[in-house]
Amino acid sequence: MALPDHPSFPQPPDPSVLAWRYIDTPKLVSLLLRRELHLRRVDLLPDKFEGTHPKLTRGLVLAQLTSPAPQGAGLDRETAERLIPDFVGPDSKFMRSTAYASCWRLGNHESEAMWRLYCGTSEGVALVLPYSRLRASLDDPTTYLGIVSYVDFETEVFSLRNMFNLVMHKRREFEHEDEARVVSWRPPPAELPPSIALPWAPEEHIERIVVSPYADAWYLDTIRELVARIAPPLSERIEPSPMGGGPYA
């Protein structure tokens, strides 16, 4: 079953572009053993602006509430000011606590910045597969995949017509991530877990496992042995990062 299309989840111009998931060793082991793709709750992601509105959104909502009917609500300014939190606050809090994300970087070349951010300077791997294959690997009806849009949270806004826009827009300071995001929404019970897992068969989907350019030779050998024991079909798809080689003569 194909993932549903959604206006908040734009697709890359070239679906064959590579998707990279930079992870540390424990996450790799968990993925291979459990055969699950883990998604983190949005309000627990490192960026505190995840799932929030840009600065100017408040002014737009105020203008809509005070605009004469039928286009607006026709409220006086004092009443509109009191109501703004009802329009801006709850949807952000709701999406932050009920949406889950798995973050991938798009690009046909690896990223030195991503190695440092997600794997440090010693260990870690990148899972690599075409974007189209990543999309085809997901069939949960509550899950979507698309590219993140980056905006200036001080001077720009995005549409309020769909709450998924809150989790598919980030500050422009994060543009270097070139992120594609798997997002899954869960209806809120009394308490939602910090992460969820989607069934995912790594042997069927992963094209390559690239080992960090900063890893020592023993680490590359260890990853090869580990993968051979847990997921043998993937053992032939492990390769060192070409960034780890020496300069040309």
Tell whether 72 is covered by a domain: no
pLDDT at 73: 77
Helix (H) or strand (E) holding 93: helix 77-98
pLDDT beneath 50: ranges in the chain: none
Residue type, 5: D
Query: What is the per-residue DSSP string for 105-161?
Result: EE-SS--HHHHHHHHTTT--EEEEEEHHHHHHT---TTEEEEEPEEE-TTT----SS
pLDDT at 77: 83
Tell whether 161 is covered by a domain: yes
Structural domain boundaries, residue 106: 18-48+100-244
Tell whether 82 is covered by a domain: no
Tell whether 92 is covered by a domain: no
* Cβ atoms 43, 104 nearer than 8 A: no
pLDDT at 188: 78
pLDDT at 141: 87
Q: How many angstroms separate the CA atoms of 191 and 167, rounded?
A: 20
Tell whether 55 is covered by a domain: no
Q: How many angstroms separate the CA atoms of 38 and 210, rounded?
A: 20
Can you give the pTM of this predicted structure? Answer: 0.89
Tell whether 110 is covered by a domain: yes
pLDDT at 78: 83
Tell whether 33 is covered by a domain: yes
For 162-190, the pLDDT digits (tens) are 889 999 999 999 999 999 999 999 887 76
Residue 230, CA distances (Å) to 21, 22, 146, 203, 224 in order: 19, 19, 30, 11, 10
Number of domains the chain contains: 1
pLDDT at 248: 67
